[in-house]
Structure 1
């Protein structure tokens, strides 16, 4: 259970990081 929860949390964190990176890139270079 703990391993599953931690893995899910890490996955969501990485997804949020990637989304923020793409959002920043879009704001810097709007297409």
Structure 2
């Protein structure tokens, strides 16, 4: 079973990864 603290950490990690991916998708085409 997944407890609440683990769920919160996974959620924060997912949000951070998503933000990094989105910024890279926006920034990379500008370099080329």
Moved over 4 A (4+): none
In structure 2, list runs of 5 or more residues that go unmatched. Answer: none
> Normalised by the size of structure 1, how large is the TM-score?
0.81
> Normalised by the size of structure 2, how large is the TM-score?
0.79
- For the aligned residue pairs, the C-alpha RMSD in angstroms reads 1.4
